[in-house]
């Protein structure tokens, strides 16, 4: 059974940083592209970033809304996906999900349960 479990969320002041983790199990993590997606209360999901697999050089892409502030990475030895978030803004407040891609496609066939990030003074 595929499982994705996010952690690392919480309350942070504007301008602060957080690192989210996503522990993956139930599939060969190293083979798949992975993404971070967020959802503000009552809003549609917003894709943030994805990272390719080793075969595709772990290259990354970012939504312009977070490019330069957020960094995605992965540890295939530990089956963990990360999102380093810097210079956080109040508008970054949302539930953050990690999601597995359907092969190398831009469809997300498994999502974690999500972790809440609140940016507030």
Residues in the site for another protein, rule: CB under 8 A?
A: 44-47, 61, 63-64, 97, 102, 105-114
Q: Please report where in the chains the tokens 């967020």 appear, as a residue.
A: 38
Residue with smaller CB distance to another protein, 1 or 77: 1
Nearer to another protein, 13 or 40 (CB): 40
Output the smallest distance, CB 61 to another protein, in A. 6
Q: Where are the alpha helices (DSSP H) in the chain?
A: none
46/76 with CB nearer another protein = 46
Closest distance to another protein from the beta carbon of 37 (Å): 8
Min separation Cβ 58 and another protein, Å? 17
SS3 assignment, position 118: strand
> How far apart are the C-alpha atoms of 100 and 86, rounded to whole Å?
23
Beta bridge partners of 95: 39, 116
Place of tokens 């990030």: 117
């Amino acid at each position: 059974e595929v499982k994705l479990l996010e952690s690392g969320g919480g309350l942070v002041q504007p301008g602060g940083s957080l690192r989210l983790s996503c522990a993956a199990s139930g599939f060969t993590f190293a083979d798949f592209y992975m993404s971070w997606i967020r959802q503000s209360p009552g809003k549609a999901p917003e894709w943030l970033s994805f990272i390719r697999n080793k075969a595709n050089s772990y290259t990354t892409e970012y939504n312009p809304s977070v490019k330069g502030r957020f960094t995605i990475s992965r540890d295939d030895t530990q089956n963990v996906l990360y999102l380093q978030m810097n210079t956080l803004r109040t508008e970054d407040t949302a539930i953050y999900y990690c999601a597995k891609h359907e092969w190398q496609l831009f469809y997300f066939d498994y999502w974690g349960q999500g972790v809440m990030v609140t940016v507030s003074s």
